[in-house]
Amino acid sequence: MATRVNMHQAKTDLSRLVAEALHGEDVVIMRSGKPVARLVPIYDERVPGLAHGRVHIGDDFDSPLPNDILGTFEE
C-alpha cells in the first residue's frame, strides 16, 4: 500500500518520506486530493569501466552451438 501525503506534510516530513522510499515504500504526494508526484529512490549510478579487466569473453563466444544444445532450442 502506498503512503499518500499532502504537499504540506511532504515538506514537513521529507526526511522520513525519503527514508521510506529508500526502504521500498511507494510514496505518493497529493495536491487537493489528487496524486501529483511519486517519491522514488535513486541508487548508485552505473559508472562505465568499473569491471575493466574482470570480464573475459572467450574466443568462441559467437561460434555455432553444438547440435545437442542447439536442438533444445529448436524443439
Q: Which CATH class is domain 1-42?
A: alpha beta
Check whether 75 has a pLDDT greater than 90.
Answer: no
Residue 62: predicted pLDDT:
93
Overall pTM surpassing 0.85 (yes/no): no
Among candidate residues 37, 6, 10, 43, the one with its CA nearest the CA of residue 24? 43
Span 10-52, pLDDT tens digits: 999 999 999 999 999 999 999 999 999 999 988 878 888 888 8
Helices (H), 1-75: 7-12, 14-22, 67-74
Domain ranges in the chain are: 1-42
